[in-house]
Chains A and B, each alone.
Chain A
Amino acid sequence: MDVLNELLGGFASALTWQNLLFAFIGCLLGTVIGVLPGIGPVAGVALLIPLTLNLDPAGSIIMLCAIFYGTTYGGTITSVLLNTPGEAASAITALDGYAMTKIGRAGVALTIAAAGSFIGGSLATAGLVVAAKPLGGLGLMIGPPEFFALVVVGISLLVALAGRSMVRALISGALGLLISMVGIDPVAGAPRFTFGMERLLDGVSFVAVIVGLFGLSEVLSYRPGRNKVTVQSPGMRSLLPTRADWRRSAPAIARGTGVGFGLGLIPGMTGSVSSLLSYGAEKKFSKHRHELGQGAIEGVAGPETANNAHANGALIPLFTLGIPASPTIAVLMGAFLQQGLTPGPTLFAEHADIAWTIIASLFIGNILLLVLNVPLVGLWTSILKVPYPILSSLILMFMVVGAYTINFSVFDVFVMILFGVVGLVLRNLDIPLAPMVLTLVLGPLMERSLRESLDISRGDLSIFLDRPVTVVLLLVALAIVASPLLKLRKPAALAAEDPET
């Protein structure tokens, strides 16, 4: 009953016109990012953090969350209409989605994808509501040693983001930690790696680094196809699925929700894995599996539901434990921190009203996206008709604005450019960028909590073994790190195919 009351309170706050407007703008921007080639959700969310700087914490996070799950809706449009996924998690949708476009059923594919995404996203958010209170109750048991152990669990997830080479993933993680250590040491107050520059005493701007690493390096390495893209926008009438389409999609949507939500809870699993496994489930269980690949509606309904259920499900570890399950969520966590909110058990203890407002807004955002996506499909496709040089020039301009407005300093623009070049070099060396984002966000938290813990115990490391919660969490981290040896992580074939790693 408590949960219901708090959720209703959250709805009351989320339904104010300001918060509705933030959710609406976030959904629009997220969809645009999902549609745009050459800019992924990680850079997109980081790039738009400055837009939310002057907003109150709840409004700011509502907008960024809406941008985050808006990208998963937007990515579908290009997969279905162009056979080019706007973001990685929609890649598998292209198989049947584009085949449906070729037989004149693009509108149906987009409507079913939006409906599936809505159902998957809403059910996953309901899961967050159920999990929030019991896990949030942990907040009262959390001290610096437990917090340190939680952060260690988060950092251990870079094992799951390793991609092709564990060594190169660890190098990426180490670089992220090193970047996060620039500036004043959080406990002793000694300046580290500042090269005598006053501007570096506060560290390097997280947004500038992420925008450079993910956004600028993507623009630098992007090579548009030589063939001119022709986009057909489906008419309103062709958007309506038949009763048979709904009947065939229902089991796929149910399976997609289960797969996406389940995998979303497992940190390190990306949305691409969920949609790939959901497609696999359709191949195995669908009555029409022989039609998959030739325009079967199940091939759109399952993966699209799964990736949205995943996106919303992945917010559960963030909200309740403070563990970012994917690079995009790590950026979202950075935005929380920038607003003075620490995601995790203490969020519900210290800022319960804000947390419930954000959760309520997730339901509203999913409805907004359902309403926005299908009728506005003509608008989204018109974005795709804009020539790439115009898009890339405007994206570059927004990167400059994004980097500058974090601290109102041109220095951060230089930092962004530097990390853009670093990102390009790392891409060429096949060093994955995802582990770096994870450690960049979690590094300072880990160091501070470790050193605060040791301050409490006067340097005695046994403090981590005396507390049951800490011991359990450290064992979990150990299991995650050992998972490649125990073959518990995602299969190698998936890791190689997963563009998010």
Chain B
Amino acid sequence: MTSVTEKRPVEKVRRSVLAGQAALVAVGAYVLAESFRLGLWNELGPGPGFFPCVLGGGLVLLSLVWFLQERAGVQAAPAPEASDTSQVRAVVLSLLVLAAALPFIGFQLGVFVFLLYHLRLRARTSWVKSLVISLLGSVGVYYLFTLALRVSLPEAGLVPLNLIGL
């Protein structure tokens, strides 16, 4: 029989949760330090650093409370479902490459290659389908936005490409 006064076992905090808590404390500490530099109070009331100071301090405090809660197993974060890391990596990297390339190769070519990569190489969609969807998603969307909605999208900065209207 367990005694009422018996201590609750200290839970092992997941490494990812610990890393998250440490990152939050670091952000809070940085904000706190920066807020002092900005100035907390002046003759008219709170200065530019006042709100960040409250928030930075609050973030550090809350992260510590969360850490203690996790150790005590109170309202602990449930373990997440295993995510598809290859999907995450492919999506994030392809978006980064697309964003970096947009000013040079423009929206039409950039998005065409981006869609082709996801449809043909990753999803193994048929060549014809991939090409049609990529064309509609790049050239089609470009003209929909620039002509119908009058919202401009990036054009190629590289000379041979912008000369052919990309």
Binding site for B on A (CB under 8 A): 50-51, 53-54, 164-168, 170-171, 174-175, 177-178, 181, 185, 187-188, 190, 192-193, 216, 219-221, 223, 387, 389-390, 392-394, 396-397, 400-401, 404-405, 408, 410, 413-414, 417, 420-421, 424-425, 427-431, 447, 450-451, 454-455, 457-459
Q: Is B24 an interface residue (CB 8 A)?
A: yes
Contact B88 A429 (CB under 8 A): no
Contact residues of B with A, CB < 8 Å? 16-17, 20, 24, 27, 31, 34, 38-39, 42-49, 51-52, 55-56, 58-59, 62-63, 65-66, 69, 75, 77-78, 80-81, 83-84, 87-88, 91-92, 95-96, 98-100, 102-103, 111, 114-115, 118-119, 122-123, 125, 129, 133, 137-138, 141, 145, 149-154
Given contacts A417-B99, A450-B46, contact A389 B122 (CB under 8 A): yes
Q: Are A454 and B44 in contact (CB under 8 A)?
A: yes
Counting chain B CB atoms within 10 Å of each CB, the highest count among A175, A396, A458 belongs to: A396
Quick check: A50 and B151 within 8 Å, CB to CB?
A: yes
Let me know if A428 and B16 touch, CB within 8 A: yes
B137-A393 in contact (CB<8A): yes
Q: Is the CB of B66 within 8 A of A401?
A: no
- Nearest opposing residue in chain A for B34, CB measure: A193
Q: Other CB < 8 Å A-B pairs besides A167-B65, A404-B153, 11 of them?
A: A174-B62, A175-B59, A177-B55, A192-B49, A220-B83, A393-B114, A393-B137, A401-B153, A428-B83, A429-B80, A447-B51
Closest to B93 in A: A417
Interface CB pairs A-B, < 8 A, 27: A171-B24, A171-B63, A177-B55, A181-B51, A188-B47, A188-B48, A192-B49, A220-B88, A389-B119, A389-B125, A393-B118, A393-B119, A396-B91, A396-B95, A397-B141, A400-B98, A400-B99, A404-B153, A405-B153, A420-B95, A424-B83, A424-B88, A428-B83, A431-B20, A455-B44, A455-B45, A457-B45
Shortest CB distance B13–A (Å): 11
CB of B36, distance to nearest CB on chain A (Å): 12
Is the CB–CB distance between A387 and B123 below 8 Å? yes
CB nearest to B35 among chain A residues: A192
B133 touching A390, Cβ below 8 Å: yes
Q: Taking CB as reference atom, which chain B residue is nearest A457? A: B45
Q: Is B62's CB under 8 angstroms from A167's CB?
A: yes
Contact in complex: B48, A192 (CB < 8 Å): yes
A400 to chain B, nearest CB (A): 6
Bound complex: CA of A408 vs CA of B141, how far in Å?
Answer: 16
* Given contacts A181-B51, A185-B48, A401 and B145 within 8 Å (CB-CB): yes
Query: B133 to nearest A CB, angstroms?
Result: 6
> How many Å lie between the Cα of A178 and that of B137 in the bound state?
36
Q: Which residues of A contact B102 (CB under 8 A)?
A: 404, 410, 413
B34 CB contacts on chain A under 8 angstroms: 192-193
Ranked 4 nearest A-B pairs via Cβ? A454-B45, A389-B123, A430-B77, A185-B48
* Cα distance A51–B149 in the bound complex, in angstroms: 7
CB distance from A151 to the nearest CB of B (A): 13
Residues A451 and B46 in contact, CB atoms below 8 Å apart: yes
When C-beta atoms are compared, the residue in chain B nearest to A405 turns out to be B151
- Contact present for A390 and B38 (CB under 8 Å): no
Chain B residues lying within 8 Å of A167, measured Cβ to Cβ, are: 62, 65-66, 69, 75
Are B83's CB and A458's CB within 8 A? Answer: no
In the bound complex, CA of A195 to CA of B65 (Å): 29
Contacts of B31 in A (CB 8 A): 178, 193
